[in-house]
Amino acid sequence: MKLHDVAVVGATGLVGRAMVAVMEERKFPVNRLVLLASERSVGHEIAFNSKPHPVHKLEPDRFKHIEYALFAAGATVSATYAPVAAVKYGAIVIDNSSSFRQDEKVPLVVPEVNRKQIFKHSGIIANPNCSTIQMVVVLKPLHDAFNVKRVVVSTYQSVTGAGKRGYDQLHDELAGRPPKEKQFPHQIAFNSLPHVDIFFDDGYSKEEFKMMNETKKIMGENIRVTATCVRIPVTGGHSESLNVEFEKKCTSEEVREVLRGAPGIVVQDDPKNNVYPMPLSAFEKDDVFVGRIRKDETVKSGVNLWIVADNVRKGAATNAVQIMEALALGK
Ligand SMILES: NC(=O)c1ccc[n+]([C@@H]2O[C@H](COP(=O)([O-])OP(=O)(O)OC[C@H]3O[C@@H](n4cnc5c(N)ncnc54)[C@H](OP(=O)(O)O)[C@@H]3O)[C@@H](O)[C@H]2O)c1
């Protein structure tokens, strides 16, 4: 089996650490693992396959001989260093930031949805936003079966979607301490904020914009999505309420059957016995969980659904490692 030289940029962050853990769990064949972060993390070590690996300061020549560079250090770092890794050192970059997602030359990939796009890269492949990933995993099989016309989505997003600082703010507030750094503009403990990322002049947030536009790039221009994104005081796992309207007629049982057979999806739908997806049960899992599947009687054909996935796993790290696995397999 061929072994690969891999770099993780942002290795000390929530996504970077999960990337290292997912590579180990899935037994990705690594020869050399290079862990990179800011100067603050020099001297730290992270275990991979039971061996401590030092964290180095991110510098261009760290990408020498690297085959795959997984980026999880924010948009500014990606914009500066992803081209260095890809163009100067010939690595294939899989980027978790929003830097390249709308770039025409950069495939935006969720392997369960548009795997073939992986092989059309010119050095950089983008991972979609976490809220988009879990939604399109569910929309794709439904679109293939019933033609999705329009989607109305509301999200209930965990604080880890905003990285370590989001996690720390919630835990400081719960412990009654003033947060060291404020990630959210208001208290998040015991609260919910209809505010994820910055706002544009039209009133939408950047997170809502990403869900609407990334879905089009991944699934085609004809899909219409409108979104409201909300931050809630949950530690890990984003939940989404989806109202989906179809061209073709279908029953809620047919929708359930299509989802049961789809890759990366687990149907948890027995509400009378308290069975439905929840962030706590999705935590550290790689699947997308779907439940509360019920017909929307206000349209000719449509359903309401409840979707939950671990934003750090399938929403970021697992999706990136799946892309790297496909590249390594060549299919
Ligand atoms: N969290 C999620 O659910 C999620 C989902 C999808 C996509 N993403 C994206 O993934 C990326 C990482 O998110 P995260 O949640 O893991 O953030 P995080 O927990 O805040 O971690 C940020 C990482 O970036 C590193 N970093 C920051 N500035 C750097 C610099 N100037 N040079 C080198 N390294 C630097 C940090 O290193 P130090 O520890 O040394 O500061 C840390 O390793 C972001 O682009 C985010 O939008 C996150």
Whether 315 is in the pocket of ligand 1, judged by its Cβ within 6 Å, is yes
* Ligand 1 center from residue 37 Cα (angstroms): 9
pLDDT beyond 90 at 49: yes
Ligand 1 neighbourhood includes 317 CB (under 6 angstroms): no
Answer yes or no: is pLDDT of 230 > 90. Answer: yes
Mean pLDDT within 81-106: 98
Distance separating alpha carbons of residues 39 and 51, to the nearest angstrom: 22
- CA–centroid distance, 186 to ligand 1, in Å, is 22
pLDDT of residue 96: 98
Number of domains in the chain: 2
If you average pLDDT over residues 260-281, what whole number do you get? 98
Q: What is the pLDDT of residue 274?
A: 98
Q: Quote the domain boundaries for residue 190.
A: 131-311
Q: What is the per-residue pLDDT for 194?
A: 98
User: Is 113 in the same domain as 76?
Assistant: yes
Residue 156: its pLDDT value, please?
Answer: 98
Do 77 and 182 fall into the same domain? no
User: What whole-number distance in Å separates Cα of residue 312 and Cα of residue 78?
Assistant: 18
Query: DSSP label at 41?
Result: G
pLDDT over 90 at 1, yes or no: no
Predicted pLDDT of residue 210: 97
Q: Closest ligand 1 atom to the C-alpha of 13?
A: 21
> 164 with 214, same domain?
yes
Residues annotated as catalytic (active site), given as ranges: 130, 238
**Confidence at 9, pLDDT banded by 50, 70, 90:** very high
User: Percent of the chain beyond pLDDT 70?
Assistant: 100
Are both 227 and 266 inside the same structural domain?
yes
Q: Which of 84, 96, 240 to mutate to test the pocket of ligand 1 (most atoms within 8 A of CB)?
A: 96
73 lines ligand 1 (CB under 6 A): yes
CATH classification of the domain holding 140: 3.30.360.10
- Tell me the angle at which helices 163-174 and 14-25 cross, rounded to the nearest 10 degrees: 110
**What's the 36 CA to ligand 1 centre distance in angstroms?**
11
Q: Are residues 137 and 50 in the same domain?
A: no
Helix, strand, coil percentages for the chain (3-state, nearest 5)? 35, 25, 35
Predicted TM-score (pTM) of this structure? 0.97
Same domain, yes or no, for 198 and 94?
A: no
Do 77 and 49 lie in one domain? The reply is yes
Cβ 38 under 6 angstroms from ligand 1 = yes
- Residue of 8, 20, 38, 130 best suited for mutating to test ligand 1, as the one with most atoms within 8 Å of CB: 38
| Average pLDDT for 118-136 | 98
Domain with residue 59: its CATH number is 3.40.50.720
Residue 157 shares a structural domain with residue 242 = yes
Confidence of residue 121 (pLDDT cuts 50, 70, 90): very high
- Identity of the amino acid at 159: V
Model pLDDT, residue 91: 98
Shared domain for 58 and 158, answered yes or no, is no
Residue-wise pLDDT for 86-96, tens only, equals 999 999 999 99
Could you give the CA distance from residue 244 to residue 34 in angstroms, rounded to a whole number?
Answer: 43
User: What integer is the mean pLDDT of 14-27?
Assistant: 98
CA 247 to ligand 1 centroid distance, Å: 40
Q: Are residues 240 and 120 in the same domain?
A: no
Task: For residues 162 and 294, state if they share a domain.
Answer: yes
Ligand 1, residue 55: give the atom nearest the CA: 40
Whole-number pLDDT of residue 127: 98
204 pLDDT exceeds 90? Answer: yes
Cα 133 to ligand 1 centroid, rounded to whole Å: 18
With a 6 Å cutoff on the Cβ, whether 40 touches ligand 1 is yes
Ligand 1 centroid distance, CA of 35 (Å): 13
Nearest alpha carbon, ligand 1 atom 36: 10
Residue nearest to atom 21 of ligand 1 (CA): 13
Atom 12 of ligand 1, nearest CA residue: 72
Q: Nearest Cα to 2, choosing from 39, 42, 29?
A: 29
Instruction: Examine the pLDDT at 221 and tell me if it is beyond 90.
Output: no
Q: Which helix (H) or strand (E) holds 327?
A: helix 318-329
Sign, CA torsion 55/56/58/62: negative
Q: Report, as an integer, the average pLDDT of 273-288.
A: 97
Does 103 lie in the same domain as 183?
no
- Which of 72, 97, 74, 95 lies closest to 17 in space, CA to CA? 72
72 in ligand 1 pocket by Cβ < 6 Å? yes
Residue with the smallest CA separation from ligand 1 atom 10 is 72
Query: What integer pLDDT is reported at residue 71 of this predicted model?
Result: 98
What is the pLDDT, as a whole number, of residue 138? 98
- Percent of the chain with pLDDT strictly greater than 90: 98
- Ligand 1 atom closest to residue 158's alpha carbon, by position in its atom list: 3
In terms of DSSP bridges, do strands 45-48 and 30-37 run parallel, antiparallel, or are they unpaired? unpaired
Spatial contact of 70 and 76, defined as CB atoms under 8 Å apart = no
Average pLDDT over every residue of 201-221? 97
Alpha carbon 71 to chain centroid distance? 13
* Mean pLDDT, residues 148-177 taken together: 97
